[in-house]
Amino acid sequence: MKLSRLFIAVAGATAVSCVALVGCQTEGSTSADVVMRNGYVYTVDGKNSVQQAVAVKDGRIVYVGSDEGAASYIGTQTQQIDLAGRMLMPGLIDAHMHPGDGGRAMTLCDLKYQTMTRKVFQETIQACLDAEKDKGPDVWLEVGSWDRMGMDGLDGDPDKSTLDALKTQRPIQVRSTDFHTVLVNSRGLAVAGIDKHTANPGDGKYVRDSTGNPTGICEDGAADAMAAVVPPATEAEKLIQSRAALDAMRQQGITSFFDALSGPENAKAFTMLEQSGELTARALLAIKLDPAAAAADPDKTIAEAKSLASLYDQGEAKVTPGVNMRHVKLFMDGIINAPADTGAMLTPYLHNAGTEKAPKWTPGKNRGELYFPPQVLDPLLLKAVQAGFDPHLHATGDRAVRDSLDAIEYVRKQLPGNAFRPTITHAESVDPADYGRFKALDVTANMSFQWAQQAPSTVDGTSDHLGVERFARMEPSGSIARAGGRVAYGSDWPVDPLDEFLALKIGVTRSGDPQNPHSYGPDYAGRLNAEPALSRADVLRTITLNAAEQLKLDAVVGSLEVGKFADLIVLDKNFMQVPEDALGRNKVLLTMVGGKIVWAKAPFVGQVAVNEQQPVR
């Protein structure tokens, strides 16, 4: 009898017969709960070895090796899965995302990341308003996934008048895909109490016209303040949004995630789902530190973060996914994308001193915004690390990256031997002199590879603002890796659609995929620039073991090795063997977390974890 004949496809089946199976044994201490055989098992161990089979018992991996060796782990109650040659690998660890916002975005008026004219923008939002005629005049309309950068290059930046022209009395708030910009109508500004006399926050601004009146565009801290005016989701709504986010993640093969900007609402929701047995990925949450509060009283800032963490951090990781809150998040700057240009740069952005038809790009005065100056950052990071936190620093511009590295170097000198694991996320523009400092200071560069493809927002806009030299070294994941630095992957979802394998494809090719709906068309099919790419092996390591190292999970997940938790996925296509242009067209067929199958589709529909009573959808 061939192993494929033993493939379990009946919901509720938890045992198979040992008849005529070589190496099968009676139930005993060495028998596994699950044995997966006949596969291309990509381990991400020290040698990136490829094996055939994996055995799982009590949520941990007890065997990785040949099919023959796995036979001794098969008992009368062992669930057997025939991989039929498919690729099995460690579960994906998305080490920078925003699942609370992602789940919420799935319930909003959705602009679907599309580049659109202001006319289409208005028509789409009006359709959302018309579909909610039962809503009163004081109920906010929230709109998500607006491609501000693309619209600016296509039809110019909108303002409050663009929304004021719509047929409604309701306040409207539109969130840009960069999650650093919000556009509101005049009614929204009035509800929020924002006028020409309102001061800008220390970490952002209300864009104003020539008379000082706000235009409706709110950037960085001002966008956060405006977003906070909208009534928060109820506890029931938050649970619905969090469940939606988890469902999206397990379909992508995400078995651990880092919520890079969390708070008590997200922490409470994921904790409630953990308590009800609905948490299907390991949740690690970061607490945002406010620049103004940190400058005024750093001790109080860290004490408040520690108090919040003590409510939700569940300590050492266990087989069953739990919640951890042991990171702090600092926004060093904004974004380097035009028209915002708030990422902190070493030299000024360029501005057009000519005309649209005859542009003349010359250095201006704007070097972006730096929200944590060194005199605040250095002691704050030191106190955070002393309190047991690992810092996660948002830095897009080369000046913000350098200041972040300087501050980490300061803490390393003050606390020699301390095993804290700092991360600089995004690092879209890095001065070449700083590439080697990531390795020297043991700093993880968390990168979003999908940004290394041509796009309307970069090729048609940002490239001019940065200039030829800086644009040529945009998205330097390959350069940092070549200098010995650890690169980990983070999707930043919902800044972009959640499509992990498209991102990994772009990490390998530094170009998009016109056949993928989450990429761009044939006009943007070429390489972004001449920056080096990552190999397939390297890019898989960024979203597995490197991400685990960033999050201090590498002792228990990130590779398929005996003793580690059984967090693993099965792919439709072999990432190591398909042609380059097909790398971004993969699908996850099965997701297992801590030995429990949390997602399965054909041909694995009906597979159930041992001792579970209900089949997986």
Burial 159-186 (b: 16+ CB within 10 A, else e): bbebbeebebebbbbbbbbbbbbbbbbb
Q: Which two tokens stand for residue 285?
A: 């949450």
Average pLDDT for 585-590: 97
Average pLDDT for 559-572: 98
Side by side, the strands of the sheet bearing 40-42 are 50-51, 40-42, 87-90, 568-571, 588-593, 596-600
| CA proximity to 255, closest of 592, 616, 23, 595 | 592
What is the chain's mean pLDDT, rounded?
91
Centre a 10 Å sphere on the Cβ of residue 359 and count the other Cβ atoms it contains: 13
Average pLDDT for 552-557: 98
Rounded CA-CA distance 459/521 in Å is 13
Look-up: residue for tokens 């070097």? 367
Average pLDDT for 286-309: 97
Instruction: Render pLDDT for 50-73 as a digit per residue (tens, 0 to 9).
Output: 999 999 999 999 999 999 999 999
Average pLDDT for 259-281: 96
26 pLDDT above the threshold of 70: no
615 pLDDT above the threshold of 60: no
Residue 31: half-sphere exposure toward Cβ, Cα within 13 Å:
18
- Under 8 Å CB-to-CB from 386, ≥6 apart: which residues? 415
Instruction: Render pLDDT for 412-465 as a digit per residue (tens, 0 to 9).
Output: 999 999 999 999 999 999 999 999 999 999 999 999 999 999 988 788 778 999
353 pLDDT above the threshold of 80: yes
Provide the pLDDT confidence category of residue 29 given band limits of 50, 70 and 90: low
* pLDDT for res 457: 78
* pLDDT for res 607: 65
